[in-house]
Amino acid sequence: MTAQLISGKPVAEAVFNDLRPRINRLREAGRSVGLGTILVGSDGASAGYIRMKIDKAEELGMTAPHIHLDDAATQSEVLDAIAALNTDDEVTGVLIQHPTPPQIDFEAAMLTLDPDKDVDGLHPVNMGRLALGMPGPVPCTPAGIEALLAYHGIEIAGREVCILGRGTTLGRPLALLLSQKRPTANAAVTVVHTGVPDWPRYTQRAEIVIAAAGVPGILQPEHVRPGAVVVGGGVRYEGRKLLPDVDESVAEVAGAITPRIGGVGPTTIAMLFRNCVEAAERRAARG
């Protein structure tokens, strides 16, 4: 069996095509849509990531104010930068690039961010909103995975989904998201992790397996039911080399699988911008 590749690139383009007229309508109504970014330090990969976000924001017709602090920046300076973007009416979403230098308490800084401007969807208030099914920014990678499956016509409702990994950025919020009552969710979700000695017992029976452990090559062909849908969400980097959770040989067993490059990544980026635009729309609705 050779698995169907379920790419994230067309999904991301569909999201951006949907966002462009929504941004234009907001601007025509005199409403701003802006992504504010904060970079602390001089890490080249982080700087490249931020540059890509700024370029995309400008291409979509959004404003993109950026604050760059040097490697010696203090916690107080970071908090001041967040406060400036919190109160900037041109900004509807804020991204604080992670990782930060060791002297910065990233979690403490995140707590000072306006939850309504949290484009990553990881502020505790937004995680609570997700758990309760309330409107608000949704964690980007989980939202991207739901969009990816929906775009490719992969039925989720009523099916057994196994998530391998329980992290706060992916596994845990994804379980909340896919178990909600929606046409593109409403699944029977099981969450397992590497602390479960017989975790393959759960992945082997699932119709959809989502690897989110951050352990390179942890998911092998023998861990997957023939014909299952496999989504590789977890990765680890060695230098600049990306090491996915899903071994490439799993494609010989799976019915559909995300590619090693261009799978979940593009959809994660698209969801970040969707969060930013939806925040602007919610603010406009409040008047």
State the residue for tokens 């000695």.
Answer: 197
From the CB of residue 159, how many other CB atoms can be counted at a distance below 10 Å? 16
Q: Measure CA 110 to chain center.
A: 16
Give me the active site residues, please: 53, 97, 120
Burial 50-65, CB ≥16 within 10 A → b, else e = beebbebbeebebbbb
285 touches 22 (CB < 8 A)? no
DSSP category for residue 249: G
> What is the C-alpha separation between 278 and 138, in angstroms, rounded?
10
**How buried is 32 (Cβ within 10 angstroms: 0-12 exposed, 13-18 middle, 19+ buried)?**
middle
C-alpha to C-alpha distance for 132 and 138, rounded to whole angstroms = 12
Q: Return the closest-CA partner of residue 211 out of 170, 253, 176, 156.
A: 170
Place of tokens 């590789």: 232
Asked if 129 and 98 touch (Cβ cutoff 8 Å), the reply is no
CB-based contact 224:248 (threshold 8 Å): no
